[in-house]
Amino acid sequence: MASIGWVLLLFLAQLHTLLSTSIAHHAIGGNLTHHPVPFLCHPDQAKALLQLKKSFSFSRSTTRLSSWRNGSDCCLWEGVACDVSSGYVTILDLNNRGLYSHGLDPALFNLRSLRRLDLSMNDIGGNIPPGFERFAFLTHLNLSNLGLYGEIPIGISKLVSLFSLDLSSHLDNQYICDPGPNNYIGAKYLYKSSSLDTLVANLSNLRELYLDSVDLSCSGEEWGIALARSVPFLEVLSLAYCGLHAPIHKSLSRLGSLIVVNLQGNIFMAPGLFPVFFMDLINLTTLQLPSANLEGSFPPRSFQSKNLRVLDLSDNPYLSGHFPDFSDTSSLEILRLERTNFSYARPMSSSNFKSLKNLSLDGNLSVDFLSSFGGLGSLCQLDLALVDSVSELGSIFSWIGHHKSLTSLKLFGCNFSGITPTLLVSNFKTLKSLRMVSCKLPRLVLHSVGNLVGLQTLEMTGCTTYGSMPSSIGNLTNLRNLCINHCGFLGPMPAAIGKLTNLRNMYINDFGFSGPIPDAIGNLTNLNAITIIRDPGDQVSGSSIPYAIGQLSELEWLVLQHCKFSGSIPTSIGNLTQLMMLDLSENSLSGEIPSSIFNLSVLHYLDLSSNKLSGPIQGFDNKVNSQLETVRLRNNTLSGEIPPSIFSLPVLRILSLSDNQLSGPIQYDNTASQLKEVDLGYNALSGSIPEAIFQISSLEHIDVSSNNLTGSVDLSHFSRLTELTSLYLSHNKLHVTDDAADNPLAGVTKLGLASCNITRFPRLFMDLNLIWFLDLSCNKISGDIPNWIWASWRNSIVYLNLSDNMLTGMQLTSDVLPFANPLQVLDLSFNILSGRIHMPNLSADILNYSNNKFSSILPNWAFYLSETRYFSVSKNNINGHVPLSICSNSSWLQVLDLSYNNFSGSIPACLIENVPLMVLNLRENHFEEMLPSNITTRCALQTIDLHGNKIVGKLPRGLSNCSCLEVVDFGGNQIVDTFPSWLRGLPELSVLILRSNQLYGTIGDIVEDAESDECFPSLQIIDLSSNNFSGNLKPEWFKLLKSMMEEFNSPGKIITHDISSFATFYHDFTEITYKGTYVTFRNILTTLTAIDFSNNRLEGTIPETFGRLVSLLMMNMSHNSFTGKIPAQLGSMADLESLDLSCNQLSGEIPQELTDLTFLGVLNLSNNDLVGEIPQANQFSTFNSSSFEGNAGLCGPPLSKSPCGATPNAGNIYKSSRHVDVALFLFVGLGFGIGFAAAIVAKWGRVGRWFTATGRAWRT
């Protein structure tokens, strides 16, 4: 943003050089052969410039600085001007030359006579270097949009002659659908200054200061005072998007020479009144204060400047008042007041807006008010928000139609329902740009937009549409920019889009689109940018990326996220030689990464994360991929070693390869790297952490957690990483020590050292004053938690995980933890802590004290759960009651786990009736009395586990209103009731445990009560054992258990809740009978299926429909009074692993079909009336006699009696005991193509896979 004078001066300097050379030629008669003219350029200057050129690459062939040749006069080179007397370079202007390098070459600082230096609009990587203080004569410095980053060097503050300083960075809006201040919120600052006061303290001659998007968030409350004191003659002040916090200070009124003021986008600025002193600046031409948190009433006075051209107060919703007054409106060109609270009730006091080109208004607009602007003959851009003007919309559209110079129109919140297509087309026909935001667009109106054939830009954001995108969009053949953003279009993208052959930018972010991208997209050969993003929850899949996309030779930007693409990445993408941005993340792409991608020589950003890509990583070349800055390949199934070449990419800053299957060592030796982020977590990497990593001073983030890395790591190794803020070494085989004398982690805010063999709290932790995330779980730290943890970190810590250690005490004199900020996580679980539980004074999102030896808790503990969502004290020795205050103080609570303690008394009704609670686990306590019954449809419970208490009465019928219920366990209580057939309609109910109560009646009556075929549609585990159920089992019931009829081809998924942030901390578990004993299954998989009706008084035959339950793993009908034969259909239950029909009155032979159950590991048919020979095929030959004894009529192995057909000795026939001890079995496969193998299969065979499931460490 250098002044125009700079360009003029450069031209005059070049002209002066040419004239000087010409005069010299004439003085010697023009005879160049015999009278050579010496070069004006000083040799040292040429040498420095040539060295500088050598450091550059060029992204455009037309700007290769071809005139910069050895042996020629450097004063005649492109962008160079010299002092005619000395031959030293005074001007170097390389603005927007397509230069690319890996940092500024130090040769630049040999040009010490420079007065003007402009390197803006190029791509120079690396930290901004020191050395600028050498430019003692510099008056103009422009390093804007250069790609450099880091702290602004102190040398710039010593340039006392500076007239203009431009270090700004601007967000590139080329590929953004709706540019606006919110787009800058997530933008990464490049330059930063810890003190604006220090930067400008010596720059008293400064007239122009451009620091847009420079991080000034640490400049404190007095940034305005610093400017007023140090740069009194400032004319241009531009601090847009700088992260300023303090409001605009009145001291800026002393800068009376201000012409341009731009403070937009400082969204964190403290609220303040409009600075009235700006209205007194008589030279003011530009005032931009959008998103500056202005509030209150706008001053009812006029701007004194008669040259005001730009006034932008938009995006200050609490700024109110009447329309601003102006002393002279004739020069006003831009007026933006949208998203404010101005009133437009009265007409304009002036109608002389002859220069107005850009007008933006919202609120209760009327045609009368708009007409009072007079004839807006220059108006070319109009933004109107018409939320309150629906009745006048037609008249306003007619007013718009009278402005023939208008080419750009943006409408917000318009309801087009009453607008005829003819009215729209006739008034909008001159438009080149139409943007509609949050509008209601009927089908006919939307179709008529296709008749606005002059449109070059069309945007629809957040609009209400009906049906599919109309094919009439293909009529807009002049269209260059198309944006469809969250409009709810349904169906496929129309093939007519292929007619938009002039299209340059296409942005489609809409959850309704389905099906493939039409091949006709290959016709859009002028496209520069494509962004297509669909709804992450969209289930449509199967389409592939069209191969024709490789025909778009001009494409620079390709983003296809969440599109559910499958198949391989088309190799044709390698044809896109201009591509700088490639993002195919969050799809289902498979196969290897095509080598053609690595031939894209100008690629800056590559993101293929969250797909199903496999194979090795290969193909990176530090010459071909010399411009690659970001590589994200995380969350795939990539394998093999990480190629060393990837670490040699010269400007690579972000490398994310986590969540793959990569192995081998980290082969890294590039100490000159520009890397800022390295994420290699959740792989199978081995070896030690390379020493070279500890030399990369630019590193800010390192994550190598959850690998197989070994060796000793001293935290002092990180002392050179002065920019480091995040370090994750967790879950390897590392031995972390802290022998450092100083604090090498002073700037670290996030530190993951879980499972690092740490035996004590490192001393250096005492000085981690900025730490807010710390994970020391799964180490060997013993003794007390030192008091300095609570003292040193009380102002910073937000996440603290000390679980899985051997901690015994907390060194606290108070029962309250003295944190200054609310916590996200405090996890002290799995230690040996005892005594009373200490609660944080400001609550916490997640509190986990489980698996300790705590014996008490504060009587009013619920008071400290005001903002807690997860609270667990499971498996301690706590006595007492649950206070009723939990009903009023715990309105955010979603998970409450008090299991395995000694709580007693009644259960507060709100815990079951409360809306937000999702998991209630009170298992194995001494709660008593009846359960509350007033449960409404607002119930959010997903798990309720009251197993092992003293609950009496009936099951609460209101549970049928809990439509999200997945796990219900009321086992081991004293409930007297019938079978809860009223739960049959719950769509998610997977586990129902009611054993060991006093339930009675029949089970099959559910069929008679059912109103539809939906009956326990998701049920996979049902345990009704040890009750008083009687009667027959009705065959129809088992036909309805759909979830047990599905054949599974995978190990299944863990039953999860809609509480993803608690996944590491809470896991559902269940206990069911397996092999004659109760077995605990932690993490219930969707493939774990079981039916246990044992120890009841059921009778009749076992229904043949059991055979339909082909995915059932465990079936226990023992200790009932079943009669008849064992159904041969049970042989169809191919996944069955445990079958117990013992202690009944079953008769007949053992069906030969049962030998088809090749996964059967436990079989108990003892104590029945079975007869005949015991089958010997497959698994049956592995069972011992205990599986069959007590059946007088059975014969053959493994029974130790006479062979079948022989007359047995009556004295040897006896009735076995009905008490059977089922031992671990040896899984043996015999012959029949299986071979012979012997193994004890994870204690209990294939089911062992349910016993272990590890959650990832919760990270931010």
The per-residue pLDDT for range 900-911, each reduced to its tens digit, is: 999 999 999 888
The label of the residue with tokens 């009496």 reads 952
pLDDT at 1246: 38
**Looking at the predicted structure, is the pLDDT value of residue 698 above 60?**
yes
Residues 6+ apart with CB under 8 A from 555: 527, 528, 529, 530, 549, 576, 578, 579
**Looking at the predicted structure, is the pLDDT value of residue 842 above 90?**
no
pLDDT at 389: 65
Structure tokens, 271: 């609220």
Average pLDDT, the chain: 85
For the domain spanning 4-262, the CATH number is 3.80.10.10
Residue type, 173: N
Binned at pLDDT 50, 70 and 90, residue 1081 comes out as low
pLDDT at 1029: 97
Strands (E), 738-893: 750-752, 773-775, 782-784, 799-801, 806-809, 816-817, 823-827, 834-836, 839-840, 844-848, 853-856, 870-872, 879-880
pLDDT at 1007: 45
Compute the average pLDDT of residues 427-438.
Answer: 93
The label of the residue with tokens 């809860």 reads 980
What would the pLDDT profile of 283-300 be if each residue is shown by its tens digit?
Answer: 999 999 999 999 999 998
Cβ neighbour number for residue 1213 with a 10 Å cutoff = 11
* HSE toward the beta carbon, residue 493, CA cutoff 13 A: 22
Strand partners, 381: 358, 408
Compute the average pLDDT of residues 150-171.
Answer: 91
Residue type, 776: L
What would the pLDDT profile of 927-960 be if each residue is shown by its tens digit?
Answer: 999 998 888 888 899 999 999 999 999 999 999 9
Q: Are 1114 and 1090 in contact (CB under 8 A)?
A: yes
Angle ∠(323,329,335) on CA atoms, nearest 5: 55
**Looking at the predicted structure, is the pLDDT value of residue 484 above 60?**
yes
**Looking at the predicted structure, is the pLDDT value of residue 1252 above 60?**
no
**Looking at the predicted structure, is the pLDDT value of residue 26 above 50?**
no
pLDDT at 719: 83
Strands (E), 131-244: 140-142, 150-151, 164-166, 191-192, 208-210, 236-238
Examine residue 1198 and say whether the peptide bond preceding it is cis (omega within 30 degrees of 0). Answer: yes
pLDDT at 1076: 65
**Looking at the predicted structure, is the pLDDT value of residue 915 above 90?**
no
Residues 6+ apart with CB under 8 A from 827: 777, 800, 801, 802, 803, 846, 848, 1065
Structure tokens, 931: 């359960």
Binned at pLDDT 50, 70 and 90, residue 582 comes out as very high
**Looking at the predicted structure, is the pLDDT value of residue 271 above 70?**
yes
Q: Which residue has the higher pLDDT, 1228 or 825?
A: 825
Q: Are 966 and 1055 in contact (CB under 8 A)?
A: yes
Binned at pLDDT 50, 70 and 90, residue 124 comes out as confident
Nearest to 1106 by CA among 1166, 1152, 1039: 1039
**Looking at the predicted structure, is the pLDDT value of residue 51 above 90?**
yes
Binned at pLDDT 50, 70 and 90, residue 47 comes out as very high
1252: three-class secondary structure by DSSP: coil
What would the pLDDT profile of 181-192 be if each residue is shown by its tens digit?
Answer: 333 333 456 788
Nearest to 231 by CA among 197, 195, 261: 197
- CA 1180, CA 1194: separation in Å to the nearest integer? 14
pLDDT at 720: 84
Binned at pLDDT 50, 70 and 90, residue 891 comes out as confident
Strand partners, 752: 728, 775
SS3 content of the chain, % helix, strand, coil (to 5): 20, 25, 55
**For the chain, which residues make up each domain, given as ranges?**
4-262, 798-806+821-893, 978-1260
Binned at pLDDT 50, 70 and 90, residue 38 comes out as low
Choose the weakest-confidence range: 226-230, 341-345, 965-969, 1235-1239: 1235-1239
1163: Cα separation from own chain's centroid: 49
Angle ∠(625,629,634) on CA atoms, nearest 5: 100
311: Cα separation from own chain's centroid: 37
Binned at pLDDT 50, 70 and 90, residue 12 comes out as very low
Nearest to 576 by CA among 546, 548, 598, 556: 556
- CA 57, CA 17: separation in Å to the nearest integer? 28
Residues 6+ apart with CB under 8 A from 1140: 1073, 1076, 1094, 1115, 1116, 1117, 1118, 1162, 1163, 1164
For the domain spanning 978-1260, the CATH number is 3.80.10.10
DSSP state string for 506-537: EEEE-TTB-SPPPGGGGG-TT--EEEEE--TT
Residue type, 685: L
Whether 978-1260 and 4-262 are alike in CATH topology: the answer is yes
Nearest to 924 by CA among 943, 951, 942: 951
Phi first, then psi: what are they for 74, rounded to 5°? Answer: -65, -20
**Looking at the predicted structure, is the pLDDT value of residue 43 above 70?**
yes
- CA 83, CA 137: separation in Å to the nearest integer? 13
**Looking at the predicted structure, is the pLDDT value of residue 9 above 70?**
no
776: Cα separation from own chain's centroid: 24
pLDDT at 467: 84
Which own/partner contact pairs does 392-395 have at CB distance under 8 Å and 24+ positions apart? 392/365, 392/366, 392/367, 393/418, 393/419, 394/418, 394/419, 394/423, 395/367
**Looking at the predicted structure, is the pLDDT value of residue 390 above 80?**
no
- CA 292, CA 288: separation in Å to the nearest integer? 9
Q: Say how many Å lie between the first and final Cα of the chain, rounded.
A: 39
* HSE toward the beta carbon, residue 988, CA cutoff 13 A: 17
Compute the average pLDDT of residues 572-577.
Answer: 93
Cα separations (Å) of 414 from 182, 403, 1040? 22, 20, 51
Strand partners, 656: 632, 679
Percent of the chain with pLDDT over 70: 85
Q: Are 466 and 489 in contact (CB under 8 A)?
A: no
Cα separations (Å) of 689 from 668, 696, 1257? 9, 13, 21
- CA 920, CA 208: separation in Å to the nearest integer? 63
pLDDT at 744: 75
Binned at pLDDT 50, 70 and 90, residue 537 comes out as low
pLDDT at 1005: 64
Q: Radius of gyration over alpha carbons of the chain, in Å?
A: 38
Helix (H) or strand (E) holding 687: strand 684-687
Q: Which residue has the higher pLDDT, 102 or 393?
A: 393
**Looking at the predicted structure, is the pLDDT value of residue 1136 above 60?**
yes
Choose the weakest-confidence range: 539-543, 557-561, 1086-1090: 539-543
Q: Which residue has the higher pLDDT, 561 or 1217?
A: 561
Compute the average pLDDT of residues 206-213.
Answer: 96
pLDDT at 564: 87
pLDDT at 1032: 94
45: three-class secondary structure by DSSP: helix
Binned at pLDDT 50, 70 and 90, residue 452 comes out as very high
Q: Are 998 and 975 in contact (CB under 8 A)?
A: yes
Compute the average pLDDT of residues 374-389.
Answer: 84
Residues belonging to the chain = 1260
Cβ neighbour number for residue 883 with a 10 Å cutoff = 19
**Looking at the predicted structure, is the pLDDT value of residue 1059 above 70?**
no
What would the pLDDT profile of 709-729 be if each residue is shown by its tens digit?
Answer: 999 999 888 888 888 999 999
What would the pLDDT profile of 597-625 be if each residue is shown by its tens digit?
Answer: 999 989 999 999 999 999 999 878 878 88
Phi first, then psi: what are they for 447, rounded to 5°? Answer: -65, -35
Nearest to 298 by CA among 281, 283, 282, 311: 311
Choose the weakest-confidence range: 29-43, 434-448, 1066-1080, 1138-1152: 29-43
**Looking at the predicted structure, is the pLDDT value of residue 1057 above 80?**
no
The label of the residue with tokens 């009745």 reads 391
What would the pLDDT profile of 1199-1229 be if each residue is shown by its tens digit?
Answer: 877 678 765 443 443 333 333 333 333 233 3
Strands (E), 922-1027: 926-930, 943-945, 950-953, 967-969, 974-975, 991-993, 1000-1001, 1021-1023
Cβ neighbour number for residue 1240 with a 10 Å cutoff = 12
Residues 6+ apart with CB under 8 A from 728: 681, 702, 703, 704, 705, 750, 751, 752, 1259
**Looking at the predicted structure, is the pLDDT value of residue 278 above 50?**
yes
- Considering the entire predicted model, what is its pTM? 0.79
